Chain A
Amino acid sequence: MQKTVSFVFVWFALVLLLAATVTASFMLKGPAGLAVSLGIAFGKSGLIYWHYMHLNEEEGLQRIAALGAGAWLLILFAFVCADYLTR
C-alpha cells in the first residue's frame, strides 16, 4: 500500500513537471528555454527510472547498465556538435 501511495505521488510530480515545461515554453526562448525544457525532461525521466523502473531497488551493476547508454550518447553529441560549432 505504501508503494501505491509513492507511485501516485511520483505520477503527480510528473504531471506537475509537464505543466512546468509547457508553461516555461511560453516564457523562455532560445538556449535558456532549451536548457529548462531538457532539464525538466531529465528530471522526469529520473523519476521514472528511479521509482517506476526499479533503480531504487537494484544494485550498482544494473544501475550502470540502465544509465550507461545515456552517458554513451554524450560522446556522439559532444563530437558531432563540436564539429558543427567549429566549422
Chain B
Amino acid sequence: MAETRSVAEPYRDARQQRDAAMLGMYVFLGSEIMLFGGLFAVAAVMRLLHPAEVVEASKALHVWIGAVNTAVLLTSSLFVALAVDCAKGGRRRGTGAWLFSAASLGAVFLAIKVYEYSLEHAEGLLPGLGAPLKVSTPVQRAFMDLYLVATGLHALHLLIGILLLLVIAIRAASGRLLLPERAIVPVTAGLYWHLVDVIWVFLYPILYLAR
C-alpha cells in the first residue's frame, strides 16, 4: 500500500482524497467560468446594442495572429494531457518534459500577445496608455476597452498557469513530487491550464471573428 503514505488528515483513504481534490478543482474552475462570464455578458450586450460598430471594431483586430495563438494554446493543452498521462504512469522525466514544453508554449503565447498589443498600439487602437487613439467610432473605443480587459485578464491567468506548470515540472523531474502517488497535483494543475485554454477558445471568436 504505497498509497496510504499520501493520505492527509481529514480523509479516510486515497480514493476519497483524490475525489475531493478533483471536485474542489472543478468547483473552483466553475467560479473562474463565472468570472469570465461577466465579461462575456458585457460582450453580448455590446453586440446587441451596436451590432454594426462591433463588427467593424472586430475587423480591425489581427485575425491571423489570434488564430496562431489559438493553435499555440491548443497544442500546449495536448502537451499537458500527455504530461498527466506520464504522471499517472509514474514516468517522472516525461512528466517534467511535457509540462515544461507546455509552459514554454504558454510563454510563446504571451510573447505573441505582447507583439500584437504593440502592433495595435502603433495603429492607435490600444486604449489605456494615454496615447491618442485613432478609433472611428466611440463603440470601437468601448470594444477595444473590453478587448484589453478580457485578453489582459486571460493573460494574467495564463501567467499563473505557466508558473504553476514550471514548479510542478521541476518537482516532478527532480523526484520531489512522488509519482504516481501524487499524480493529483499535475492532474488538477492541468485542469486549470485546460480551462484557461477553453476561455481563449471562446474569447477568440467573440473578439476576433465578429462578422
How does the 8 Å CB contact mask read for A1-31 relative to B, with 1 for contact and 0 for none?
A: 0011001101100110010011001101110
Chain A residues in 8 Å Cβ range of B209: 21-22, 25, 33, 37
Given A37-B209, A80-B45, is A11 in contact with B34 using a C-beta cutoff of 8 Å? no
Q: How far is the CA of A54 from the CA of B190 in the complex (A)?
A: 10
Q: Is B210 within 8 A of A34, CB to CB?
A: yes
Q: How far is the CA of A41 from the CA of B43 in the complex (A)?
A: 16
Q: How far is the CA of A4 from the CA of B82 in the complex (A)?
A: 7
How does the 8 Å CB contact mask read for B44-63 relative to A, with 1 for contact and 0 for none?
A: 11011101000100000001
Q: Is A61 within 8 A of B74, CB to CB?
A: no
B interface residues, how many (CB within 8 angstroms): 49
Q: How far is the CA of A18 from the CA of B68 in the complex (A)?
A: 10
Chain A, interface SS category:
helix
Chain B, interface SS category:
helix
Q: Is B44 within 8 A of A40, CB to CB?
A: no
Of B38, B63, B75, which is within 8 A of A11 by CB? B75
A-B contact pairs, 7 of them (CB 8 A): A22-B67, A30-B51, A49-B198, A53-B190, A62-B26, A65-B26, A65-B27
User: Which residues of B line the A interface, CB within 8 A?
Assistant: 19, 22-23, 26-27, 29-31, 33-34, 37-38, 40-41, 44-45, 47-49, 51, 55, 63, 67, 70-71, 74-75, 77-78, 80-82, 85, 187, 190-191, 194-195, 197-198, 201-202, 204-206, 208-211
User: Which residues of A line the B interface, CB within 8 A?
Assistant: 3-4, 7-8, 10-11, 14-15, 18, 21-22, 25-26, 28-30, 33-34, 37-38, 40-41, 44-45, 48-49, 51-54, 58, 61-62, 65-66, 68-70, 72-73, 76-77, 80-81, 84-85
